[in-house]
Structure 1
């Protein structure tokens, strides 16, 4: 099965492999997909993940956890960067559908995830999006590795 082989080729740790397989198998089409189709499926999962994270951050804006003003500022950063990431992920999907490289777009989306995480770290605050940021970063990283496999640099 291409999905299993692809996940094995683009991950280095068992945890990452399991995350890759579990994420992709959530989409039934991935069972018979080639690597380019897996890229589109994975990027659509990234888009769904970032969209969910944006919605959760917006909900936290409306009902912020108790804490300092830094928490609200950090949540505002997350809303901004997750909103921006959707543009890059849509562009990545368009490129993948055309079998073009999408590494720059997925890298930018990953930077946005790191920016959200860093906003809480710099404020010395507990990150209420820690799990979501972690999952987004893992999935984005896997997609970057799939792009590198599909479009090796010369």
Structure 2
């Protein structure tokens, strides 16, 4: 009997928390990327809404690092002056994002307006990188950074 009770208790806790992810993500502009990002992170299973926002921001930070690594690699290989200028723009703005996103993560739940400003700056960074190219090699990753930042903003807004 005790085993049955514990099974029911754990099942209810698992599914009610699973609902937190779905409920939180359905209120965002990009629910699909929100749900897939959170479901792929094992920390989200026990996270509250503040931690869900932090997990989304950490995913954006991962994408920023991917872009930076690719941009630095391309910079070493290309001789084209315009491409080099565009790569340097991306490297510059995403270097800033390496500071902005961790600050946003730290401010979630304690200073949401500051977290909001920092997450918003990340969207501007992605747009700036994207617009520096006529045909960017980072289109998918820039879009992912922007969408993750928008999702983070939506979640932070729900915190009040």
Corresponding position of 2:33: 19
Q: Which runs of 4+ in 1 moved over 2 A?
A: none
1:79 alignment partner, one of 82, 88, 91: 91
State yes or no: 1:59 paired with 2:73.
Answer: yes
Given that 1:89 and 1:105 are in contact with CA atoms closer than 8 Å, whether structure 2 keeps it comes out as yes
Corresponding position of 1:112: 125
Structure 2: gaps spanning 5 or more residues: 1-18
Structure 1 CA distance, aligned partners of 2:105 and 2:148?
A: 14
Corresponding position of 1:144: 153
- Offset from partner CA, 1:12-45 (integer Å, 9 cap, x none): xxxx221111111111111221101111111111
For residue 130 of structure 1, report the CA deviation from its aligned partner.
Answer: 0.8
Corresponding position of 1:4: 22
Q: Figure out how many residues of one structure are paired with residues of the other and give that number.
A: 140
CA RMSD, Structure 1 to Structure 2 (Å): 1.4
For residue 139 of structure 1, report the CA deviation from its aligned partner.
Answer: 0.7
Structure 1 CA distance, aligned partners of 2:54 and 2:146?
A: 17
State yes or no: 1:28 paired with 2:42.
Answer: yes
Given that 2:34 and 2:148 are in contact with CA atoms closer than 8 Å, whether structure 1 keeps it comes out as yes
Larger Rg: 2
Structure 2 CA distance, aligned partners of 1:47 and 1:133?
A: 11
Corresponding position of 2:6: none
TM-score (norm 2): 0.82
- Offset from partner CA, 1:27-85 (integer Å, 9 cap, x none): 11112211011111111111111111111111111123x8x421111011001111111
Corresponding position of 1:42: 56
Structure 1: gaps spanning 5 or more residues: none
Given that 2:25 and 2:31 are in contact with CA atoms closer than 8 Å, whether structure 1 keeps it comes out as yes
